[in-house]
Amino acid sequence: MNLDNFYQTLHGNFSDYDLEELKKTPQYRFGMFIKIINNKDYFRKNIRKVLKEEGNENVIEFEEFLVYNRAWYWIKDFDLNDPRVGDVYNYDEALLAFDLSIKYFEKVEDYEKCSYLFSFKSLLKMLDSPKNS
């Protein structure tokens, strides 16, 4: 598949496309957070391949640390006042990602991250409630 042609089909001229600018958008950052958390088993499997070790408790903890902190990287600077917060690709997947992240950060006692994630999740629920009414 030629990604240049695919992008041109959706957005016109590919030369105007700037991946670095796209990565700065809230939708991209939010999407990466959701993708990493909801595909954590895939990422963990790849980490195991690199480390060439399975079943070791330290490796399992390291895998979780990498996955959740990488996901945190994508969402940590998200402005909760940004009107695009409600632009969620899949609401249920977003809530699942928040639930799993909050549970992980509670386990490692990183309560500041839990608070931020809980606030974000609450805001999403509030924004989605008129859609479900």
Q: What is the pLDDT of residues 99-127, one digit of tens each?
A: 999 999 999 999 999 999 999 899 888 87
Q: Is residue 130 part of a domain?
A: no
Q: Is residue 5 part of a domain?
A: no
Note the pLDDT of residue 34.
92
Q: Which residue positions in the chain have pLDDT lower than 50?
A: 1, 130, 133
Q: Is residue 129 part of a domain?
A: no
Note the pLDDT of residue 71.
95
Domain total of the chain: 1
State the first-to-last Cα distance of the chain, in angstroms, to the nearest integer. 41
**8 Å CB contact between 114 and 98:** no
Q: Is residue 20 part of a domain?
A: no
Phi, psi values for residue 56, rounded to 5°? -70, 130
Q: What is the pTM of this model?
A: 0.76
Note the pLDDT of residue 36.
93
Q: Is residue 19 part of a domain?
A: no
Q: Identify the domain containing residue 74 by its residue range.
A: 32-123
Structure tokens at 133: 């009414």
DSSP output for 68-92: HHHHHHHHTT--TT-GGGG--S-HH
Q: Is residue 7 part of a domain?
A: no
